[in-house]
Structure 1
Amino acid sequence: MNNQDLNGESIWSRTTEIPPRRPLPGDVTADAAVIGAGMAGILTAFLLSRRGISVIVLEADRIAGGQTKNTTAKITSQHGLFYQKLIRTAGKDRARLYASANESAVEEFETLIREEQIHCHFKRLPSYLYSRDPARQADLEREARAASALGIRACFTGQTGLPFETVGAVRFENQAQFHPLEFIKALSDQVTVYEKTRVIRVKGHTVYTNRGTVTARHIVFATHYPFVNVPGFFFTRLHQDRSYCLGLSGTAPLDGMYYSVDKNGLSLRWNEDTLLLGGGSHRTGKNRAGGEYERLARAAKQFYPGCNITARWSAQDCMSHDGIPFIGSYCVFRPYWHVATGFKKWGMTSSMLSAMIIRDRICGLPNPYEELFRPQRFLLRASAKSLAADLLESTAGLAKGAFHLPLRSRPLPKGHGGIVRIGFKRYACYRDEAGRLHRISARCPHLGCQLEWNGADKTWDCPCHGSRFDCDGNLIDNPAQTGCGCGGQTPE
């Protein structure tokens, strides 16, 4: 298994180039301002513009430069072992709405692609939820019955196209996959996007950026994780997970998309001449040892002998406590602020759904799904377990960040990172392969939690809310809005 030079770039980024856009030229006005030019932001802007709404999209970096370029690009209502749980914790009526909403999003993708004649390798095919553990077969059978009872074309099957034995799978019919950057490139050509324009703050109807202001009747936060803490308080209701992916050549094609319910299970899908092999999911900030890419490589060698690893990359997902995205009003006191977040691992389907709901909110149209996804809901039975876990993690992270407990100052091996004491201060330090020590503040600038080393991506991640930084403190992922203080390099 020969590996090409890998730099963390997804296969989508390698095969599609979106032309750059100019920054915001100064102070402007519009009917709506959308913050974030990922899939959710561009779709929202496009659907609004179709209704005659003037829209400006503001992007801190590049179009699709965040999570959109790192997706596995499945468009599906199959969301893991979820429907039987949702029926139990939220009731059958809400579960049926959730199923219908996601099925409608899949249909809307196909309709839009056909109407706009977008060439993005869109393909309808089944999505499978599988297990290799005999103890999970009953769970799969129950999930199949639950999804079917909610109106989804789903059934339990013992037949899959995987190169290893399973105990069965839930087959969801007529789901889809596509090339996300080919799709978003075509849509973004039809909306006004200003790149390299970082939003600093939002007050009332005004968005303040490093390039000027945008005044709008409606403001949409499509930034993956909402960065305005108050109002909204989304930092108390969301955490982030990371997962990893390899691109493989020299394998047989697959007949569908596959997602495992097992611990350390694999996600697989085929794209033209490349197999996407994913896995290694963990809470952001909880991966000091690393090794996810190596574990995926071992699985690739085991199941696809002779394959080549042609790409590797990772992605980040926002997780709500009850497993349902937050789509709608940012806060009851800001009815003209709208938000889309908490997509879990199903960002493409949820992006379309959020664009449809927010379009209808702004245009004053009824939407059958708005109440289910309302950010101000609180489903206690569905949220309790995740809420407790998030509170524990946030309390621990804030305590570490606030109190400078004694630390031993010991040398770091090359290629490793850790929290160390230098003099009387603590730093997040990384020693590169040349022996240089990169040191930054150990506290996340978002709310002050202590950063933790991610050995797989060689980044500093916040376990509280998921902000990420490179070894020199440069911001990679929000909700933080700034880097975390470069302490310089020391040759040692």
Structure 2
Amino acid sequence: MKSVWSESCNFKKRESLNGNIEADVVVIGAGITGILTAYMLKKKGIDVVIIEAEKICSGNTKNTTAKITSQHSLIYDKLIKEFGEEKARQYASANELAIKKYKEIIENERIKCDFEEKDAYLYTMDNVEALKKELEAATKLRIKAKLLENTELPFKVKAALKFYNQGQFNPLKFLEVITEDLTIYENTKALEIKEELVVTDKGMVAANVIVVATHYPIMNTPGYYFIRMHQERSYVIALENAQDVNGMYIGIDKWGYSFRNYKDLLLLGGGSHRTGKNEAGGKYEELRQVAKELYPNAKEKYHWSAQDCIPIDEIPYIGQYSTETPNVYVATGYKKWGMTSSMVAAMILSDMISGNKNDFAEIFSPTRFDMSASSKNLTQDVIETTKNFIAQKIHIPSEQVEKVETGHGGIVEYNGEKVGVYKDNNGNIFTVTTKCPHLGCELQWNPDELSWDCPCHGSRFDYKGNWIESPAIGGLSHE
């Protein structure tokens, strides 16, 4: 499974760390957030290095739909109600500035990354009132927007909210240029942070400042990000011979889909679910059925999926990791707007680290954590986490290993213990422990990705038990 971006770009190979080094700043994670932060710090004359557990942009950055927008579904009416107009304006201004910053860098560095200025649309089949409220809020925050009745989608909508002058691009082509002069150590996994020291599997990095840009923070404490957010997966197929919709669209209804074009392809997205909650599978098939109905002559060229961290109040955490770790910074919780949020994070963090004032840092501060603003979401996350801890102890499956069908996986009882079993198309059996090494939740099988996923905090492992995504930092034991 490769995204269209992965097919179009190859980063130059970087060596692993070999021993102990020192730097002013060490960034953990060579995704778009880490790269942009390091890029901006270097522009300020700060000595910075990046360490990456695998390859550059091998995580969620390569699996984006690559929309650069300040339109983040239904967000601004909610922000004004929960945080007030001033802080909502900080959020809006930060994301509007992020779009301009991308344009500036692309122009200054003369990057050929297929950047296009496009309008972004929220559409609905029945909830017009929600779009009206969002328009009113956006207007208050000085975002140029308009409510429409007609779009270029292949079906009739009741209303669509248009945000003007947004952007889309090929992120890996962009980052290939940005990384050219950065010091990056690949295949170097961070294992522990000790005050001003990052311990890796290849040596240690001593630094005055540490930036954790690992999608999901790798330290459980302090910070406690594992109770502040959960993770969700969503799916994309890229179609040839489909319509040019001339913009970026996302539906606000429960079964809404996203649409945007890249060159001669249409990217159709949807099927979102909490990570670890896709036992039935069929998310790609759902998108293929939609494509068949809307674009009967289209042909699938690529398909891929992405994972997003969802904060309890739907605002990213960008700033100091915790009050107890003043030299450690974090950027996480982008919901589903990683391209814009990563630029916002880079601007905030580079300002904070270099001692400059940032006008919109307050709304994103990880120390805000207002339980009252999002107590319902927090309660649901705690319920899910607690339920899955209990499931590890009391759920007793009835299946036996020999009953697992070819090409399928699941949890079975084997030798008196619960074991994750996958049987490939040749009948080979792969077994792993079902306990997530992060905090012990019971893993669930994802048939769409052939992976073991954690429903508590979103760690993922392949069918052999190899680590795919954090917050876990190691793989599963297996037989």
Given the two structures, how large is their TM-score scaled by the length of structure 2? 0.98
Give the partner amino acid of 2:41: L
Alpha-carbon separation, structure 1, partners of 2:137 and 2:62: 32
Q: What secondary structure does 1:172 align onto?
A: strand
Alignment RMSD, CA only? Answer: 1.0
Provide the residue aligned with 2:120 in structure 1: 127
Q: Deviation at 1:378? A: 2.1
Are 2:356 and 1:365 equivalent residues in the alignment?
A: yes
Provide the residue aligned with 1:344 in structure 2: 335
Q: What secondary structure does 1:476 align onto?
A: strand
Provide the residue aligned with 1:3 in structure 2: none
Q: Deviation at 1:174? A: 0.4
Q: What secondary structure does 1:428 align onto?
A: strand
Provide the residue aligned with 1:335 in structure 2: 326
Alpha-carbon separation, structure 1, partners of 2:310 and 2:239: 28
Alignment counterpart, residue 412 of structure 1, candidates 379, 404, 410 = 404
Provide the residue aligned with 1:4 in structure 2: none
Provide the residue aligned with 1:14 in structure 2: 7
Provide the residue aligned with 2:307 in structure 1: 316
Provide the residue aligned with 1:479 in structure 2: 471
Q: Deviation at 1:171? A: 0.1
Q: Deviation at 1:414? A: 1.9
Q: Deviation at 1:140? A: 1.2
The count of residues paired between Structure 1 and Structure 2 equals 477
Provide the residue aligned with 1:70 in structure 2: 63
C-alpha contact (below 8 Å) 2:87/2:362 kept by paired residues: no
Given the two structures, how large is their TM-score scaled by the length of structure 1? 0.95
Deviations 1:423-470 (A, max 9, x none): 211111122222222210010000000001112112110000000011
Q: What secondary structure does 2:321 align onto?
A: strand
Give the partner amino acid of 1:434: N
Alpha-carbon separation, structure 2, partners of 1:196 and 1:405: 37
Alpha-carbon separation, structure 2, partners of 1:230 and 1:288: 31
Provide the residue aligned with 1:161 in structure 2: 152
C-alpha contact (below 8 Å) 2:371/2:378 kept by paired residues: no
Task: Map 1:26-425 to 2 at 5 A.
Answer: 26-132=19-125, 134=126, 136-401=127-392, 403-410=393-400, 411-425=403-417
Are 2:453 and 1:461 equivalent residues in the alignment?
A: yes
Alignment counterpart, residue 449 of structure 1, candidates 441, 448, 467 = 441
Q: What secondary structure does 1:142 align onto?
A: helix
Q: Greater CA deviation, 218-227 or 148-157? A: 148-157
C-alpha contact (below 8 Å) 1:206/1:214 kept by paired residues: yes
Alpha-carbon separation, structure 1, partners of 2:425 and 2:243: 37
Give the partner amino acid of 2:398: R
Alpha-carbon separation, structure 2, partners of 1:203 and 1:74: 36
C-alpha contact (below 8 Å) 1:328/1:357 kept by paired residues: yes
Q: What secondary structure does 1:45 align onto?
A: helix
Q: Deviation at 1:356? A: 0.5
Alpha-carbon separation, structure 1, partners of 2:413 and 2:76: 48
Give the partner amino acid of 2:455: P
Q: What secondary structure does 1:259 align onto?
A: strand
Deviations 1:278-329 (A, max 9, x none): 0000100000000010010011111111100000000000010000000000
Q: Deviation at 1:381? A: 4.1
Deviations 1:114-170 (A, max 9, x none): 1111111111110000012x2x01111211121111111111111211111111100
Alpha-carbon separation, structure 1, partners of 2:438 and 2:134: 39
Q: Greater CA deviation, 20-29 or 278-287? A: 20-29
Q: What secondary structure does 1:268 align onto?
A: strand
Alpha-carbon separation, structure 1, partners of 2:255 and 2:283: 10
Alpha-carbon separation, structure 1, partners of 2:433 and 2:60: 25
Alpha-carbon separation, structure 2, partners of 1:129 and 1:83: 13
Q: What secondary structure does 1:128 align onto?
A: strand
Deviations 1:170-213 (A, max 9, x none): 00000000100001110000211110111111101111111111
Q: Greater CA deviation, 464-473 or 425-434? A: 425-434
C-alpha contact (below 8 Å) 1:90/1:379 kept by paired residues: no
Q: What secondary structure does 1:335 align onto?
A: coil
Q: Greater CA deviation, 379-388 or 363-372? A: 379-388
Unaligned runs of 5+ in 1: 1-7, 488-492
Alignment counterpart, residue 438 of structure 1, candidates 414, 430, 438 = 430
